[in-house]
Amino acid sequence: MTTTTSTDPLAVRKSPIVRTSSGDLRGSEHRGVRRWLGVPYAAAPVGPLRFRAPQPVEPWEGVRPATEPGAAAPQEARPFTGGISKTFAQSEDCLFLNVFSPSDAGPEPLPVLVFIHGGAYRSGTGGSPDYDSTPLAARGIVVVTISYRLGAFGSMDLTALNDDADGIRFDANCTLRDQVAALAWVRDEIAAFGGDPARVTIAGESAGGNSITTLLATPSARDLVHGAIAQSAHPMTAHTPANKAEHAHMLVERLGLDPAHAGRDLLRVPAARLQAVGEELDDDVTRATPLVAVFSPTIDGEFLPEHPLEAFRAGRANPVPLVIGTNHDESSLFKRSKTAILPTTEARAEQLVAGTDPEAWERIRALYSIERGADDVRRDWIAAGGDGVFTVPSIDVAQAHAANGHPTWMYRFDHASPLMRLVGLGATHGTELPYLFAAYGTPLGRIVTGTDTPRVRRRVHRVLAGSWVAFVRDGVPSHAGWTWPRYEVEDGAPGARATLCIDTVSHVEHDPDAEVRRAWSGTHYEF
């Protein structure tokens, strides 16, 4: 049997074997899409590379099979909330990506979408069936889904434990560094898969959405990105080295390590124990102080020079076209969560706006505090948290990016299946994902979309996936004969706070969250 190993974009159409700078990869074909799964984009971050910046891939001999996704980062299995199943392989050796390219594409290189999964920086993987990008690639783009280090392995800043005497040096922001390394791989290698390295759009949801807004404020990612889509981002989630140092010492104490040699000993902790203790610490810190996340980016002054929100407000964020939005009922998922990600009382909600002017706080109290039963009040304050964490900061980013003259579009995902409405979740956090990826048969997809008719699923998918693909292809999300106007902040402008409301019948509204936006006006976030 003769195979083709070439960087010629036409060769990938003829054979699922491609040549990268590290070696040859054999993929597979499924439903008109060529797929290469479990492709390493950096060396295994194990042994002395634990807690260090990603290093180049070690080349391999022969043809490497790329027909199965790589291992996920160590995590607790959460298959029904977008995480992994209990049978999905886990390993610290987790820096893999997956490439999807249409089999019938012509000779011209195709635009590229790089999707970053969510999961609170502690769960998920790009290899999950929830992110199978075959349907998106079939629309005429190349799609890359990536995995990255999670939890204590990537999203804590342990540099406070650096010790010259023990020869220990850790790096901050390993999660972000992994994502930048994956984007550099796309720049260097994607042409071999039929993609155009000069047309790369990044997208992500939840922690992946936070990654998007953070990467737009990260200098090393600036030349690697040409467009961005932030889904249910929480753009304020980034913390100072002082916060992170406190968490590092708390981790050392919980692990029972010798403080004098904590860095050295931390390299020897078994992965399963480090994962479990790290997640327990994250849970406990979040219960004590909502929104102070143990697993989050660090404003280290170098890799991430400033808070992403400040970068957007000052016009220093990457000036690429941006689509950003949230879901209609973001917070309803969290009222059933075991962890206190969002506040459940007025006192805890007030922590969201610590230091703000009293009038703003009174507006917020008037909007959410309703004299009803305890369950209703709890729900109202979780709603306040959802708006304070997701809706308002996303509007803030859209306003700032648009005011600085950069193309911006805003959306709100409103669709909810009959079951999701019946159980009181509505269009909650993450429910757009099965419609975007047409992943209706996964555990998450069955819950979210199972009571929709096939016709309804197709309609929502066409709007969501069609808009995303149009944006990746053209830099504008309008498609199929209808226009999604750019977001503008000037009252009276044609696109004044224009927001695409995605539902069974999608439509554009102007300032649909005006009441929430005005209530939170004048607040600021202190972390």
Digit-coded pLDDT (tens) for 472-488: 999 999 987 678 999 99
User: Active-site residue 29, yes or no?
Assistant: no
pLDDT class of 383 with cuts at 50, 70, 90: confident
Residue 526 lies in a domain: no
First and final C-alpha spacing in the chain? 60
SS3 content of the chain, % helix, strand, coil (to 5): 40, 15, 45
86-100, 329-343, 485-499: segment of lowest average pLDDT: 329-343
pLDDT of residue 524: 60
Q: Are 240 and 298 in contact (CB under 8 A)?
A: yes
Is residue 287 pLDDT above 60, yes or no? yes
Catalytic residue, from 307, 401, 415, 429: name it. 429
Residue 18 lies in a domain: yes
Percent of the chain with pLDDT over 90: 76
pLDDT class of 379 with cuts at 50, 70, 90: low
Q: What number is the average pLDDT over the span 22-50? A: 97
Q: What number is the average pLDDT over the span 386-390? A: 90
Catalytic residue, from 189, 205, 279, 330: name it. 330
User: How many CB atoms neighbour CB 184 within 10 A?
Assistant: 18
Residue 495 lies in a domain: no
pLDDT of residue 192: 96
Is residue 368 pLDDT above 60, yes or no? yes
101-110, 130-139, 361-370, 488-497: segment of lowest average pLDDT: 361-370
Digit-coded pLDDT (tens) for 402-452: 999 999 999 999 999 999 999 999 999 999 999 999 999 999 999 999 999
Residue 491 lies in a domain: no
pLDDT of residue 3: 36
**What's the one-letter identity of residue 67?**
T
Residue 503 lies in a domain: no
Q: CA 346 → CA 23, 350, 372, 383, distances in Å?
A: 57, 6, 14, 11
Catalytic residue, from 133, 155, 206, 232: name it. 206
pLDDT of residue 486: 97
pLDDT of residue 376: 58
User: How many CB atoms neighbour CB 385 within 10 A?
Assistant: 26
pLDDT of residue 355: 65
SS3 393: helix
Give the burial class of 47: count Cβ atoms within 10 A of its Cβ; 0-12 exposed, 13-18 middle, 19 or more buried: exposed
Q: Are 141 and 470 in contact (CB under 8 A)?
A: no
Residue 283 lies in a domain: yes
Q: What number is the average pLDDT over the span 116-136? A: 97
pLDDT of residue 2: 31
Maximum C-alpha span of the chain: 75
Structural domain boundaries enclosing 65: 9-478
User: Active-site residue 526, yes or no?
Assistant: no
User: Active-site residue 15, yes or no?
Assistant: no
pLDDT of residue 4: 45
pLDDT class of 328 with cuts at 50, 70, 90: very high
Q: What is the mean pLDDT of the chain?
A: 91
Q: What number is the average pLDDT over the span 32-44? A: 98
Is residue 157 pLDDT above 70, yes or no? yes
What order do you get walking across the sheet with 63-65 strand by strand? 17-19, 24-26, 63-65
pLDDT class of 370 with cuts at 50, 70, 90: low
Residue 104 lies in a domain: yes
Digit-coded pLDDT (tens) for 87-114: 899 999 999 999 999 999 888 999 999 9
pLDDT of residue 81: 62
Percent of the chain with pLDDT over 70: 91
Q: How many domains in the chain?
A: 1
CATH number at residue 324: 3.40.50.1820
Is residue 527 pLDDT above 90, yes or no? no
Is residue 520 pLDDT above 90, yes or no? no
Residue 243 lies in a domain: yes
Rg from Cα positions in the chain: 22
pLDDT of residue 373: 46
H/E stretch holding 462 reads: helix 454-474
Q: What number is the average pLDDT over the span 283-296? A: 85
